[in-house]
Each structure stands twice: as C-alpha cells, then as structure tokens.
Chains A and B, each alone.
Chain A
Amino acid sequence: MSHEFILVNWNKRKQVYDICLWIGIALYLSLFVLVSHSRFQGEHSISSLIILIRAFSTCGFIMLTLILCIGPLARIDGRFLPLLYNRRHFGVSFFIIALIHGALAIFWYHSFGDINPIVSVVTSGGDYQSFNSFPFQLFGLLALLIFFVMAATSHDYWNAVLGPTWKTLHILVYPGYALLIVHIGFGAMQEDNTGLLPSMVFASVILVGGLHVYSALFCTRANKMIDSARNDSGTEWVEVGKWQEIENDRAITVSVGKDERVAIFRYDENKLCAVSNVCQHQNGPLGEGKVIDGCITCPWHGYQYRPQDGCSPPPFMEKIETYHLKLQGDVICLNPQPLPAGTARPVTEIPVAGN
C-alpha cells in the first residue's frame, strides 16, 4: 500500500510477477515466430509482419483469458490471490500486446494507399449485412479503445479520483472480451480450416464463463445471511453467532440487507470488532483478510485498517465504516446500522474464563 501516487508502484513481489509475466510473453512470441519461420521457408514463407500480427493477437487473447480467470480462481481458492495482487500490471501488459497487434495490422493492411489508414479501419473491410464479410476490424478497434481506457486508468490515482465509477469502468473488460470474440469470429476464424482457432475461442469462453458461474454459485463471500437485519431506527441488535466460531486474527462475514456485508474479526484472542467488508482500495473482501501487526489486512493488496476505528494507520488515509457489537454470553450481537467511516467505538472484549 502507498500513501502517495507514483507512476508505477513496484515492490519485490510485483517485480518477480512482472518478470515471470514478460518471460512468458517473450517465450510465446519468440516460439511462434521461430516455428513460423522454420516451417514456412522460401517461396512458401508467410510474410514476417503477418507472423508478428498473428503472434501478438494470439498472445493477447491467451493473456486476456488468463486475466479473466484470475478473479474467480481467487474466490474459489485463496492460493490464487497472489495472481490477483498484481493483475493490474498483467492487464496493462495485455493492452501493450493488443496495441502492438492493432498497430501492426493497421500499418500492414490499411497503410500505403490513397486512403488514411484510420479512416480505412472504420470504412473499409466489409458489409454489415453479410456474414462472410462482416467488418471485423471495427470490433477490434472498439475493444482496443476499451482496453486503452482501462489501462490508462489502471492506477490508484484514478481509483481514488473516480471512486465507484472506477469499478464500473473496469467491468468494461467483459464487453471488451465480447468484442474481441466477435473480432476473431468474423475475422481470422473465417479463414481457419484447421479448427484450432474456433477451439481456442470456445475453450476460452467455457473456461472464463465456467469459472465465473462456479465462483458466483458456490463461493459466496458471506458466511451468514441476516434477513431483515435492520429496522427503521437501525438500532435492532441481531445475533450473528458465537465468538468461538471465529478463528483468532480472522473474521466471519455476514450479509445485512441486500448489498451490505460486515466483517466481524476476532483479534488479540479476546477482542472483537465489526467493520465494512469492503476495502476502500479496490473493494477487496476484508472478511477474507487477516489481522497482521494489529491491523485488518486486505487479502487483495494488503491495505490495512485499525480494528478499533476502521482507519488506515498513518500516513495512510483510507477509512471504512464500523459497527457496534456486544456480547450476550457467547453470542455476538451486531447493530447493523453502519457508523460513519473511521468512527471509533468501544472494544468488545470476550470475558476471560475465571474473571
């Protein structure tokens, strides 16, 4: 986590991530180019630029598929959370690969003529009423524009400035993916008689769709649902379970109402606190986090909040909503009325046996 905005926020973990990522990209591209040149030589060769266009396009598509799998995989199995940690750099790297593909295609297919290459991208290449000659380039360009906006705003600065809009903006990755499928379907897939490209696209859609559906159906983030938890005055106390159900330094998550989730942590063995489940950084699920060095730590990017008041330790300035708790015997009771972000409230202590 950081309290100031710098252009690229790297640490050792992110550097290792990026090195592995770019070694993978280099491995794919170099293998593709080498195999293409060695298998197709002399008068049977394929144009070098077309080999590059194909290498970057397939590389980008595989990258986007992997990017879209990371979110649900991390929900299904927490061991994949480190992949999520630096997914932003993965996304920007994907955009760079897609941009190179687009630039090469525009240079090779749309340049050197009497018409402006960008105008050619928009106006040439097809008939909207014909399946066989649908203008696939336009869909690729639209997808690229979406990915550009995402890459350009893929920074904590924009996250802070845009607030909730940022999340909405980045959900656009799904329309971008759909546009890319159409781009491939009406473009390269029309010429593929090996069945490889349709198989690739089909596998990607099944993998991405399947993981999203599975994680949505079977990996709910809330341990408990509390129906009609809140009355009009917001002062009704509701039982959420016994404190023994909560592992030390960990939390259970309860849903109150339709969209609100509360994380109830136990820390220092005998202390309890309730905070919003939503991290202020990128809406990470704090309830899946852990208390480290006395602070609630988000599992996504390690943003931290003090249990007693929901404020990030100085110099950081993030704040989350807090909730009142009380104990009735072993049972934890929650007041589902949220307190303003950063509000301190008395620590709820579990009586030590014998006292």
Chain B
Amino acid sequence: MNEPSKKPFFVGYLDMPVQLKRFYLLVVLLLGAFVALAGYTIASQQKSTGPALWLTDATETISGLLVVDPYPVLHRIDPDNPERTESILLVNQGKISAHDFARPFQNKMVSITGYPILRGGWSMYELASQQPIKVDEDGGNETLKSRLAASAKPTSLGAVSLSGEVADSKCFLGVMKPGAGSVHKACAEVCLLGGIPAMLLVQGEDDKKYGYMLIQSDGSSASKLISKRAADYLKISGELQQRGDLLYIKMAENGHF
C-alpha cells in the first residue's frame, strides 16, 4: 500500500497547512524583493528629455508686437540684451492654436499674459484664461514698433533640405516631457490638428536638437497639413527663412514630404 502523502493539501476556506505557511512566507518575501527591485530599476532607466520648463505657478505678462500668421508670435526687445529682439510663440490652453484669440490684435503692440514654456533658446507663452491679450494703451512706441515689424519680416536664407522629426512645438518645448517620439505621436497629431505650430526637430552634429517652424509654400500654417506625419522622421525641402529669431522652412511642395 502507498505511504500517506506528506504533500500539504490547501483548501482556501480552511487553515493553511504549516508547511505551506513557511513556503508562502518565502514566496511573499521573494516577490516583494522582486517588485521593489523592478520598480527601482525600471524607473531609474528612464531618460531626461533635456532641460525644459513649463511655469504654471503664476502668469507672467510681456509686451511687444503681435504677428498672427503663419503662427501667432509676439516680437519684443530682449530684456537681457536691448540690441536684439526676441520672438515668443503663442498658443492657447490645451491643444489649440492661439490664432482666434490673436487675430483681432494683428500687428498691434500688445501685452500678453500667460504661462511661460522654455527650452534652450526657445520661448512660448500659453495664454492665460482671463483677458490674455490687451492692446497697449499708449499704442506703443512707433519707433519700437517699426523695429519689431522689420525684425518680424521674413528674410530668405536660401534653399534647404533637412531631415528630422515632425513635432508639435508646445509639447516639445516643455508642456510634455517627453513631448516627442513615437509614444507621443497621437498627442502631437491632436496638437497639430488644433493648430499648434508645427516644428521640424533636427538632430545636430553636436547632439543638440534644432527646431524649424514649418509653413506651407503659400506662407500659411502647415500644422493641419502635416498632422498625419506627426512624430515621423521626414526629409523636408524648401526655403529657409528667418522671422525674428525663429527659423522657418517654407516647404517646397505641399504634401510631398
């Protein structure tokens, strides 16, 4: 006859056999150690997407000349260096362009209230919810306005052909970190469909990313046009332009990228 089995038999609604209690003490300890190690290791292996800030604690107000097309941009004197001008991209809250808000203030000296988004040499403001744009009461200094308008005019820098990732500027500049790449693709597409300025991110030889605003051959926003190619790595040819301190690529052939 068989010897009675020493194997413990577990029934959920009865007391657990002592041998199994010891076994499960070990199992729980090992699983706990595994869980802690996994949590620590996986979190540690993440990568920073580079220095960027989205200052949401309090709004800030800046003044300058507002240009609406192709993308809303406030051109102002650089507070740190009065000899140069600075171009600040403007976007609405959420994944929506600031075009509708900015349109009535086209080419006017205004004050903008919003939340700064900063990465490297780029600046963007997300408009505040209450009266984000006000016309300067004195109409602005005409000399200053002329200087800023001249700076905002496109200057051709010649033909260019560059390869890089199509991104929405708002997320990339610091609203989402990371705000580019394949996981972010759908978000970039929603942003571009909402009119957020489109950007081509080009990896430089110095391993830094250089951003070029993308516009159509007629000079208008390319955001919606290129939205389906968000996060794709494309070669784009066209005319390189400078407007203020921002670089734009006026794409040669719409849709052919």
Q: Which positions in A face B, CB cutoff 8 Å?
A: 1, 11, 13-14, 20, 23-24, 27-36, 39-40, 42-47, 50-51, 54-55, 58, 62, 78-79, 81-82, 85-86, 108-110, 112-115, 120-121, 124-127, 130, 132-133, 136-137, 186-188, 190-191, 193-194, 196, 200, 244-248, 250, 289-290, 292, 297, 299, 301-302
Are A82 and B20 touching (Cβ within 8 A)? yes
Interface of chain B residues 44 through 58 with chain A (CB within 8 A): 44-53
Are A43 and B51 touching (Cβ within 8 A)? yes
Given the known inter-chain contacts A79-B20, A246-B2, please indicate yes or no for A44 contacting B183, CB distance below 8 A. Answer: no
Are B8 and A24 touching (Cβ within 8 A)? no
A-B contact pairs, 19 of them (CB 8 A): A32-B39, A35-B43, A36-B43, A39-B43, A54-B46, A58-B42, A62-B38, A81-B10, A112-B190, A114-B95, A114-B190, A132-B233, A133-B231, A137-B186, A191-B178, A292-B14, A301-B12, A302-B11, A302-B12
Q: What's the dominant secondary structure at chain B's contact region?
A: loop
Chain B interfacial residues counted at CB < 8 A: 61
Report B167 CB to chain A, min CB distance, Å: 13
Interface presence of B181 (CB below 8 A): yes
B19-34 interface code vs A (CB 8 A; 1 in, 0 out): 0100110001001100
Interface presence of B189 (CB below 8 A): yes
Q: What's the dominant secondary structure at chain A's contact region?
A: helix
Q: Which 4 A-B pairs have the closest CB atoms?
A: A125-B186, A31-B39, A112-B94, A113-B190
User: CA–CA, A18 to B4, complex, Å?
Assistant: 33
Q: Which positions in B face A, CB cutoff 8 Å?
A: 1-5, 7-14, 16, 20, 23-24, 28, 31-32, 35-36, 38-53, 93-96, 176-178, 181-187, 189-191, 193-194, 228, 231-233
Q: Given A27-B39, A79-B20, A86-B12, 12 other A-B contacts at CB below 8 A?
A: A23-B32, A28-B39, A39-B46, A43-B51, A79-B23, A82-B16, A82-B20, A109-B184, A121-B186, A190-B182, A196-B42, A297-B11
Report B19 CB to chain A, min CB distance, Å: 8
Which of B13, B24, B47 contacts A1, CB < 8 Å?
A: B13
In the complex, chain B residues whose CB is within 8 Å of the CB of A50: 176-178
In the complex, chain B residues whose CB is within 8 Å of the CB of A11: 12-13
Are A24 and B5 touching (Cβ within 8 A)? no
In the complex, chain A residues whose CB is within 8 Å of the CB of B12: 11, 13-14, 82, 85-86, 301-302
Given the known inter-chain contacts A50-B178, A188-B183, please indicate yes or no for A113 contacting B4, CB distance below 8 A. Answer: no
In the complex, chain A residues whose CB is within 8 Å of the CB of B232: 127, 130, 132-133
In the complex, chain B residues whose CB is within 8 Å of the CB of A250: 5
Task: Name which residue of chain B comes closest to A31, CB basis.
Answer: B39
Given the known inter-chain contacts A115-B190, A124-B186, please indicate yes or no for A35 contacting B9, CB distance below 8 A. Answer: no
Given the known inter-chain contacts A46-B178, A79-B8, A247-B5, please indicate yes or no for A39 contacting B44, CB distance below 8 A. Answer: yes
